[in-house]
Amino acid sequence: SHDFIGEFTTSYRELSRGQSQFNVYEVINPKKKGKKKKYVNSGTVTLLSFLIETEVSFLDYIKGGTQINFTVAIDFTASNGNPSQPTSLHYMNPYQLNAYGMALKAVGEIIQDYDSDKMFPALGFGARLPPDGRVSHEFALNGNPQNPYCHGIDGVMEAYYRSLKSVQLYGPTNFAPVINHVARYAASVKDGSQYFVLLIVTDGVISDMAQTKESIVNASRLPMSIIIVGVGPAEFDAMEELDGDVVRISSRGKFAERDIVQFVPFRDYIDRSGNHVLSMARLAKDVLAEIPEQFLSYMRVRGIKPSPAPPPYTPPIHVLQTQI
């Protein structure tokens, strides 16, 4: 059984002196000290080394200037239903947001606070585009492939509604092109100055599972995270697999370096009383819960430390001159 040898007290300040004559401590057993006149100590403890490790947080990087780049990708496949019908997940109801609109706004309004220029690339996949009806899995919602950026989340919503009027919903549901699109940008800045978040809003069954897994495994080495929000009543088993919380995702025998996918089914967040503000707040909270840890895991593996935060802004002091 354990035997109490003795005790001593010290402080952080003393320990921080490191190895020195100050950091040799007599271990005293009060019972023995009381009984034996000749008792000196029960041995000594000597400090050999002292090291301070700083735990950095997500906000330390943000304060140091790391930019979060937010990209949106929307599912325009025919399984969503005809946008002019009220049964469609893309139905443009003049009085309230559809499920896609709610998911975009809920997540986007929070993430946009971490993106200093508020310019978001917005992409669509699974539609036939005018004028020639070619099928695209990576088209710019604003119609400009050279510059797919929209201003703020409101700009994204505007481009989304405009696209619904001009493209034809088609298929199949391919994720790999939009993941690779963002990965190309992420691959060009690996120094920790930028981090990329891709939000995919989809109604379900994925067609290019093998290619998507491959894209995710490759992207897990890059400064990026993927959020998938599933809307509608479909089975989302494949999405759970991509999430990788239970089993780490792999492709061709190669495992993802880190978990970068967060999947949530939107139906789990619909407030029973019809309070959409509440639904959106709950969704945003869960969807964004894993991002800081995924972000930190990338920085840790790469040994990237946050840049020092700039000094707080102090307004210039105006000297008031008074004439007497």
Q: What is the pLDDT along the chain (324 residues), one digit of tens a residue?
A: 899 999 999 999 999 999 998 899 999 999 999 888 899 999 999 999 999 888 899 999 999 999 999 999 999 999 999 999 999 999 988 888 998 999 999 998 888 888 889 999 999 999 999 999 999 999 999 999 999 999 999 999 999 999 999 999 999 999 999 999 999 999 999 999 999 999 999 998 899 999 999 999 999 999 999 999 999 988 888 888 898 887 889 999 999 999 999 999 999 988 778 788 888 888 889 888 889 999 999 999 999 999 998 888 777 777 666 666
The reply to whether 19 and 153 lie within a common domain is: no
pLDDT computed for residue 193 by the predictor: 95
The reply to whether 48 and 65 lie within a common domain is: no
pTM: 0.82
The reply to whether 11 and 95 lie within a common domain is: no
The reply to whether 261 and 287 lie within a common domain is: yes
Among residues 187, 130, 202, 121, the alpha carbon closest in space to that of 159 is found at 121
The reply to whether 158 and 288 lie within a common domain is: yes
Q: Could you tell me the CATH number of the domain that includes residue 84?
A: 3.40.50.410
Domain that includes residue 101, residue range: 58-302
The reply to whether 47 and 145 lie within a common domain is: no
The reply to whether 135 and 160 lie within a common domain is: yes
The reply to whether 221 and 283 lie within a common domain is: yes
Residue 311 lies in a domain: no
Give the count of domains, the chain: 2
The reply to whether 47 and 99 lie within a common domain is: no
pLDDT computed for residue 321 by the predictor: 66
pLDDT computed for residue 323 by the predictor: 66
Residue 77 lies in a domain: yes
The reply to whether 4 and 78 lie within a common domain is: no
Measured CA to CA in angstroms, residue 141 lies from 32, 116, 119, 319 at distances of: 81, 21, 13, 52
Helix, strand or coil for residue 129?
strand
pLDDT computed for residue 226 by the predictor: 96
The reply to whether 77 and 134 lie within a common domain is: yes
Residue 324 lies in a domain: no
Residue 307 lies in a domain: no
Residue 313 lies in a domain: no
Strand order across the 168-169 sheet: 134-136, 127-129, 168-169
Interatomic CA distance for residues 185 and 68, integer angstroms: 12
The reply to whether 122 and 201 lie within a common domain is: yes
pLDDT computed for residue 113 by the predictor: 85
Residue 268 lies in a domain: yes
